[in-house]
Amino acid sequence: MWRYANGPQIGSLEHGAHILVGTPGRILDHLGKGRISFDELNTLVLDEADRMLDMGFQDALDEIIAQAPSDRQTLLFSATFPAQIQSIAQRVMKQPELIKVASTHSGSSISQTFYEVESNEDKDDLLETLLLKHQPESAVIFCNTKKEVQNVADELHHRGFSVIELQGDMEQRERDQALVMFANKSVSVLVATDVAARGLDVDNLDVVLNFELSRDPEVHVHRIGRTGRAGSKGNAFSFIGQKDGYKVALIEEYMDIEVTPSEKPQKPTSAQPMTPSFKTIQIAGGKKQKVRPGDILGALTKDAGLDGKLIGKINMYNECLCCS
């Protein structure tokens, strides 16, 4: 398996591969430059199809499908199934079977609270209040745009919170670093767009906060569903702006609930931002350098004298994320 990147990995395509993984735009670029061929393609997988449409990949998807052999198996995965996805399925699949996977959490395990906000400054202050009040070990804040992600992350950092951002303009290694640090609980707050946070899987996610309501009620459900998993309780807070009336109506209809804004809590006077209980150590080496988890554990316990009980999960990659 090869994941596409610039530089040496392009040359690796000359040796062939059994599985090609890439964004529609990248796959199409390789097709156009003759680096790959679909002559022997027998399985086409469209993963996260709904998100790819949201990102504007419709034309690239159509071109890839047009160049793929008609005699193939097509698999389409999507967290939501809007009309656009149904249309694609009917057009590119033959006698498809629809398989639905039941949710691993119930709505009763998630406490939803909505707050009315008047301005971005009001949002920033309320966000700080909620984080100080609930002291989540892990919290995800969703925004609709990359610019808003950067603004919120910068503001939280300015106010003393342990925060990292995840958005589409980041390079893949930067996104991997952010996800590892958040999953390892060495960063308490992750600010992200829906596309960037796709596939995020963090144990015991305490809080999900919608800094901006999604335009799609299905996405709203998908957002809040990241907390309250495996029988645990979760909190979901959502900010309602002055122009969000239609979004609220869509959520009410889709979830069959009545949204009643709650009174804003008072900011705790003595609380301080949550301090992460872990630190992430990054080592300049990986699988390609024959580094094994046991080697790292041994170095930390024997050479550095750390108690093994204090060492968390060791994530292994092909090479150092800081160097790739």
| pLDDT computed for residue 56 by the predictor | 65
- pLDDT beyond 80 at 48: no
Give the pLDDT of residue 51: 67
Q: Residue 47 contacts by C-beta under 8 Å, 6 or more apart in sequence?
A: 77
Other beta carbons within 10 Å of 291: 19
- Looking at per-residue pLDDT, the higher value among 262 and 176 belongs to 262
Q: Between residues 9 and 300, which one has the greater pLDDT?
A: 300
pLDDT band at 5 (very low <50, low <70, confident <90, very high): very low
- Looking at residue 83, its pLDDT comes to 73
3-state secondary structure of 165: strand
Asked if residue 13 has pLDDT above 90, the reply is no
- Summarised one tens digit per residue, pLDDT across range 155-172 is 999 999 999 999 878 887
Which position has the token pair 């992350």? 153
pLDDT of residue 125: 96
- Mean pLDDT of the 239-253 span: 95
Give bridge partners of residue 92 from the DSSP assignment: none
pLDDT of residue 199: 62
| 3-class DSSP assignment, residue 304 | coil
pLDDT of 16 higher than 50: yes
Provide the pLDDT for residue 105. Answer: 47
Instruction: Kindly report the average pLDDT of the chain as a whole number.
Output: 83
What percent of the chain lies above the pLDDT cut of 70? Answer: 85
pLDDT at 188: 93
Look up residue 6 and give its DSSP letter: S
Quick one: average pLDDT of 243-250? Answer: 95
pLDDT over 90 percentage in the chain: 33
pLDDT tens by residue, 229-238? 766 788 999 9
Looking at residue 321, its pLDDT comes to: 57
Is residue 52 within a helix (H) or strand (E), and if so which, with residue range?
Answer: helix 49-54
Q: How many angstroms separate the CA atoms of 232 and 65, rounded?
A: 42
Structure confidence at residue 25 as a pLDDT band (50, 70, 90): confident
Q: Is the entire prediction scored with pTM above 0.75? A: no
Q: b/e string for 75-84 if b means 16 or more Cβ within 10 A?
A: ebebbbeeee
Residue 306 pLDDT: 77
The residue with greater pLDDT, 274 or 198, is 274
pLDDT band at 261 (very low <50, low <70, confident <90, very high): very high
Looking at residue 7, its pLDDT comes to 54
